[in-house]
Amino acid sequence: MKVDILRLGHRMRRDKRTTTHVGLAARALGANSMIFSGDDDPRVKRSIEDVVTNWGGDFRIEYREDWQKSISSYPGLKVHLTMYGLPVRVVIDEIRDRARAQGILVIVGGEKVPGKVYSMVEYNVSVTNQPHSEISSLAVFLDRLLEGRELEARFEGAERTIKPSAHGKELVTGNRDSS
Amino acid sequence: MKVDILRLGHRMRRDKRTTTHVGLAARALGANSMIFSGDDDPRVKRSIEDVVTNWGGDFRIEYREDWQKSISSYPGLKVHLTMYGLPVRVVIDEIRDRARAQGILVIVGGEKVPGKVYSMVEYNVSVTNQPHSEISSLAVFLDRLLEGRELEARFEGAERTIKPSAHGKELVTGNRDSS
């Protein structure tokens, strides 16, 4: 399934870490790319590209000023994560079916989401109707969308991989694919 | 199930938002409390307590300087979320069974987690062996631990509640429980 993320309203001064966390969570949990709008921020791009270099896969990150066009020109299903939306458990199966055929753009907000977004998407979806975090909403949404299969993904071309361990840290360096 | 969170190594200058997001995600996704260590930070406490006042429930937040004691004195199961740990899908059923009886402390790190933590817990658990975010790891872990039941939780005494909506924002103000 093709999964793209759009992160709205990035602010240079406040959101470097949260936008980076959105991007890293997106990558680790099965998305193919993240677009961000708001302020252009090379630090976010660099942080995520460094992770891709070291840890593999082909996740892409891109800044686009025109978020409206990013939504309206997207060829697949558009879903906005918001605490005001319909419960994820109610709509996720329907969304998964449609996304399989078309691909899906998952939109997450920053501090203020323009009202227009709510009507530009097929679904507004809530991961609880409580305030929490775009990072945690996205994580639960992707895990349910991809039904846990994302947890088994391999990231090709990694310079670093981890050997899961009960009580320590086991880091393997060097590109396994070329060995 | 009693679920408590310990957030290690909070840094006043860098982590205000991420620690707050950890706390809000913890609350929204079914935890009972969060302890944080590292720097004491009244802004984090205030942000989370404001959410509890407005949105209900009895989530508690507390600063404790001595994180080692917070771990060693915890009466239940201790689980540390780390990209180096055992895959969540492999260990979650076993963890859930033990946590039901004893309660569970879920430990998430900041930038640097002391090596000691890995041996002070019963489980080191990974939500993918990729770098992402303590917020997304915690979200997926709680959703799987509580098997989605946390998404149906009601928060008693809320001043604000949301009526889930397909394409708008419906906020209900005023304490429903006293009406």
Position B170 in a domain: no
pLDDT tens-place string over residues A129-158: 999 999 999 999 999 999 999 999 999 999
Q: Whole-angstrom Cα distance, residue A106 to residue A82?
A: 11
Residue B175 forms part of a structural domain: no
**Distance between CA B131 and CA B124 in Å, rounded?**
15
Q: For residue A1, with 0-12 CB atoms within 10 Å meaning exposed, 13-18 middle and 19 or more buried, which class applies? A: middle
Report d(CA B159, CA B53) in Å as an integer. 7
Question: Which chain B residues in 47-86 lie under 8 Å from chain A, judged by CB atoms?
Answer: 51, 55, 83-86
Does some domain include residue B37? Answer: yes
Query: Residue A34 falls within a domain, yes or no?
Result: yes
Judged by a CB distance cut-off of 8 A, whether residue A162 touches chain B is yes
In a domain, B173, yes or no: no
Decide: A52 and A58 in contact? Cβ < 8 Å. Answer: yes
- The pTM of this model reads 0.97
Chain A residue whose CA is closest to B57: A130
Per the CB < 8 A criterion, the answer to whether B72 and B47 are in contact is: no
Give contacts of A 102-131 with B, CB under 8 A: 115, 118-119, 123-124, 126-131
Per-residue pLDDT of B88-140, as tens digits, reads: 999 999 999 999 999 999 999 987 899 999 999 999 999 999 999 999 999 99
For A49-107, the pLDDT digits (tens) are: 999 999 999 999 999 999 999 999 999 999 999 999 999 999 999 999 999 999 999 99
Range of the domain at B113: 3-154
CATH number (domain holding residue B55)? 3.40.1280.10
Alpha helices of A56-178 — where are they, by DSSP H?
67-72, 88-102, 117-120, 134-145
CB distance from B158 to chain A under 8 Å?
Answer: no
How many domains is chain A built from?
Answer: 1
B114: left (phi over 0), alpha (psi -120 to 50) or beta: beta
In this structure, the number of other CB atoms found within 10 A of the CB of residue A100 comes to 13
Residue B134 lies in a domain: yes
